[in-house]
Amino acid sequence: MSTIQDKVVVIMGASSGIGEATTKLLAQQGAKLIIAARRLERLEAIKEEYPEGDIHIQQADVTNYEDVKKVVGLAMDTYGRIDVLYNNAGIMPTAPIVEGRREEWQQMLDINVMGVLNGIAAVVPIMAIQKSGHIIATDSVAGHVVYPDSAIYCGTKFAVRAIMEGLRQEQRENNIKSTIISPGAVATELYQTINDKNVSEDLHKAQKEWGLVADDIASAVVFAIDTPGRMAVSDMIVRPTTQPM
Ligand code: NDP
């Protein structure tokens, strides 16, 4: 029997792609959802699709700790507990290092790394008191291997993998699960965060041709959430079958 029903799940970066697909799959299974991102109109559209669902929306930029605390506060005020935090927000403005796109590097560090840390900082004290909880982050194959023109993105995803493993070790005795889901190529809007138009369009084409769909990753996230208390999925790599790297 599914354990998803009535679980309180907070999703950061829920307005499109993997976060949106996960929100919908969890809503269909009766989870209580608090979903956040910067594009409020996209969150509103998702909520409208599930009039019977238990979905609360909150505009938030994960780089802003006050915003993240507001999302967590909404979950606590509404339900008095948080079972799962899914840190999914991320961007991927890839380019060769020689181009020196320092602003993009800073944004990637702020969103992909500090965004995850902001979520962790906001919920770990709550979950430690609860003596239960589950923190999930969307990592990447790029958190396991490095490839050209993606060094900084890979760096952020390697960092998330290290942080989530440290979290696991430190918080296991509080019964807090730590999971990273590491997708290969998935057809989402992520290509739009690449500022070089040619690179962006090539990636979009490739992802549509042989990438996974966001629902595939959502099913992996739901699998990790729907595990018995004794069982924690630490890292799940989910690639398109034909992906070489
Ligand atoms: P999308 O671009 O469709 O989704 C990204 C999500 O992150 C959106 O909901 C976006 O919402 C949110 N987001 C970005 N910046 C912020 C911010 N500052 N504050 C709050 N939310 C933010 O792409 P994906 O679904 O593909 O990406 C989801 C995750 O999956 C990312 O972490 C990405 O690195 C990872 N990933 C994706 C792969 C792929 O091939 N697609 C492969 C491996 C990993 P909004 O803009 O409304 O704020």
- The verdict on the CB of residue 111 being under 6 Å from ligand 1 is yes
pLDDT for position 159 = 99
Report pLDDT digits (tens) over 51-64: 999 999 999 999 99
* Mean of pLDDT over the chain: 97
6 Cα: distance to centroid of ligand 1 (angstroms):
25
Question: Probe ligand 1: pick from 139, 186, 221, max atoms within 8 Å of CB?
Answer: 186
Residue whose CA lies nearest to ligand 1 atom number 3? 17
Q: Of the residues 50, 86, 147, 153, which is catalytic?
A: 153
The confidence band for 1, taking pLDDT boundaries of 50, 70 and 90, is confident
pLDDT for position 242 = 95
What beta strand segments (E) does 84-139 contain?
84-87, 133-138
* 147 counts as catalytic: no
* DSSP calls for 25-84: HHHHTT-EEEEEES-HHHHHHHHHH-TTSEEEEEE--TT-HHHHHHHHHHHHHHHS--SE
pLDDT at 25 over 90: yes
Ligand 1 atom having least distance to the Cα of 153: 34
**What is the helix (H) or strand (E) element at residue 218, kind and residue range?**
helix 214-225
Average pLDDT over residues 146-169: 97
pLDDT at 6 over 90: yes
The confidence band for 12, taking pLDDT boundaries of 50, 70 and 90, is very high
Residue 192, judged by CB atoms within 10 A of its CB (0-12, 13-18, 19+), counts as: middle
pLDDT at 233 over 90: yes
pLDDT for position 119 = 99
Q: Spell out the domains of the chain, with CATH numbers in brackets.
A: 8-238 (3.40.50.720)
Report pLDDT digits (tens) over 199-214: 899 999 999 999 999 9
Residue with the two structure tokens 């965004």: 115
